[in-house]
């Protein structure tokens, strides 16, 4: 079915055939049939109520964990970032509320300023809270599930729900959180989350913690490149004895610096793929598959894509 923007009454931005590459860190990929940036939660809910049930919906945060394929994305792509979607509010001494488009770094900084300890790890993740919830993002020994108190969502029919821990009340299966993964239903859009730290802390100490995380990142990761972070999940979750790292397996397979078209395995951190300037999504995906094949051949390990790949080839 052809989707036309003037079929819908909205207050936010609704654009037909909108290029998505500028909204992802990789800067690759084709357009969305229809692209929507809702003005606020009610706007999102009203839009979904008007949208025919058979139209696929994809949610985007800040695009730091995604490859949009060259053929673009069918249906509607909804982007929750910036403005209203970036609001953060302190609820009590150790808890804050963040709308889904808040950057993880902004949440970490807000927590530090408010004296909420235990959320600084978020400063290492360049995505949004919605994306972090979907991917159970984490670093420095902590992941989103450890600080998640309550989640607000809107379902495909435009209905709002709030849940704590489980979604059983709404007829969905229990959400399983595992290493860099959740079974969070894809038809639910996260609109906000209550996050709790573990204690009150000194703002200056927390600020220093964040600065240390940032410095470490800049030293070890190609954060200024067009990338999407770790391409593959480590085969063994953190804490496993003799844990194997994806980057070590990739390095051992001789893939550091490997290229396909404009895509390259980063020389700095070989679990990162980068767009050197003119890569297409197909180059990145082909390079990823080549790396997987070489790692399988040299170590017998089948790497799992951590980066989401969506859309038409
Ligand atoms: C340099 C770099 C370093 C990184 N380091 C880390 C790291 O240390 N740890 C880590 O975990 N990740 C890391 N990442 C990956 C990435 O930042 C995280 O996965 C992040 O949580 C993704 O958030 P996003 O807003 O960019 O999501 P997107 O990339 O926009 O989307 C990711 C997934 O989340 C879904 N999604 C997004 N928003 C919502 C929403 N509101 N409701 C429902 N679903 C939604 C999307 O549909 C998609 O499936 C890194 C990335 C980069 C570029």
Q: Please write the tens of the pLDDT for every residue from 202-232.
A: 999 999 999 999 999 999 999 999 999 999 9
**Is residue 41 over pLDDT 70?**
yes
Mean of the per-residue pLDDT values for the chain? 94
The CATH number assigned to the domain with range 86-218 reads: 3.30.465.10
pLDDT at 137: 95
Locate CATH 3.90.78.10 in the chain.
232-310
Locate CATH 3.30.465.10 in the chain.
86-218
Nearest to residue 130, comparing CAs of 184, 49, 51, 76? 184
What band does 181 get if pLDDT is binned at 50, 70 and 90?
confident
Residue 22: partners with Cβ closer than 8 Å, 6 or more residues away: none
The class (CATH top level) of 5-79 is alpha beta
The CATH number assigned to the domain with range 232-310 reads: 3.90.78.10
Distance of CA 259 to the CA centre of its chain: 25
**Is residue 172 over pLDDT 80?**
no
245 is catalytic: no
**Is residue 187 over pLDDT 90?**
no
Q: Which range, of 22-26, 174-178, 277-281, 290-294, averages the lowest pLDDT?
A: 174-178
The whole-number average pLDDT for the span 57-68 is: 97
Tell me how far apart the alpha carbons of residues 191 and 212 are, in angstroms, rounded to a whole number. 30
Of residues 163 and 140, the one with the higher pLDDT is: 140
pLDDT at 163: 82
* Nearest Cα residue to atom 39 of ligand 1: 130
Give me the catalytic one of 230, 266, 280, 292.
230
What band does 178 get if pLDDT is binned at 50, 70 and 90?
confident
Give me the catalytic one of 79, 180, 280, 294.
180
The whole-number average pLDDT for the span 145-169 is: 85
**Is residue 188 over pLDDT 70?**
yes
* Nearest Cα residue to atom 43 of ligand 1: 189
Nearest to residue 313, comparing CAs of 70, 77, 28? 70
Cβ–ligand 1 contact at 103 (below 6 Å): no
The whole-number average pLDDT for the span 188-193 is: 96
pLDDT at 261: 98
152 is catalytic: no
The whole-number average pLDDT for the span 9-28 is: 97
230 is catalytic: yes
pLDDT at 173: 60
Locate CATH 3.30.43.10 in the chain.
5-79
**Is residue 182 over pLDDT 80?**
yes
**Is residue 95 over pLDDT 80?**
yes
* Nearest Cα residue to atom 36 of ligand 1: 131
**Is residue 237 over pLDDT 80?**
no
Cβ–ligand 1 contact at 132 (below 6 Å): yes
Residue 190: partners with Cβ closer than 8 Å, 6 or more residues away: 59, 100, 129, 130, 133, 134, 151, 152, 153, 184
Cβ–ligand 1 contact at 229 (below 6 Å): yes
* Cα 125 to averaged position of ligand 1 atoms, centre (Å): 8
pLDDT at 171: 59
**Is residue 248 over pLDDT 90?**
yes
Cβ–ligand 1 contact at 124 (below 6 Å): yes
Provide DSSP, 160-193. Answer: EEEESS--GGGTPPPPPEETTEE---TTPEEEEE
pLDDT at 278: 96
Of residues 267 and 171, the one with the higher pLDDT is: 267
Nearest to residue 306, comparing CAs of 274, 271, 281? 271
């Amino acid at each position: 079915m052809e989707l036309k923007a003037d079929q819908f009454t909205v207050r936010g931005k609704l654009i037909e055939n909108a290029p998505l590459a500028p909204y992802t860190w990789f800067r690759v990929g084709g357009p969305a049939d229809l692209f929507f940036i809702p003005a606020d939660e009610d706007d999102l809910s009203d839009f979904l109520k008007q949208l025919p049930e058979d139209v696929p919906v994809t949610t985007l945060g800040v695009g730091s964990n995604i490859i949009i394929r060259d053929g673009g994305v069918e249906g509607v792509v909804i982007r929750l970032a910036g403005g209203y979607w970036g609001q953060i509010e302190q609820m009590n001494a150790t808890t804050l509320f963040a709308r889904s488009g808040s950057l993880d770094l902004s949440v970490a900084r807000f927590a530090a300023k408010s004296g909420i300890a235990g959320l600084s790890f978020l400063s290492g993740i360049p995505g949004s809270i919605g994306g972090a919830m979907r991917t159970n993002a984490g670093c420095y020994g902590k992941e989103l599930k450890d600080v998640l108190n309550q989640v607000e969502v809107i379902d495909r029919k435009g209905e709002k729900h709030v849940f704590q821990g489980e979604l059983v009340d709404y007829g969905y299966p229990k959400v399983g959180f595992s290493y860099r993964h959740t079974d969070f239903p894809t038809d639910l859009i996260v609109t906000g989350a209550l996050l709790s730290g573990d204690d009150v802390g000194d703002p200056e100490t927390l600020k220093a913690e964040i600065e240390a995380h940032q410095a470490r990142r800049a030293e070890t990761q190609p954060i200024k490149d067009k990338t999407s972070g770790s391409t593959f999940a480590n085969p063994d979750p953190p804490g496993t004895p003799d844990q194997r790292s994806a980057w070590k397996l990739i390095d051992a397979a001789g893939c550091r610096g490997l290229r396909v078209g404009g895509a390259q395995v980063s020389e700095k951190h070989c679990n990162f793929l980068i767009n050197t300037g003119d890569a297409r999504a197909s180059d990145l995906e082909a390079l990823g598959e080549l790396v997987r094949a070489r790692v399988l051949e040299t170590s017998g390990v089948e790497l799992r894509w951590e980066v989401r790949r969506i859309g038409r080839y």
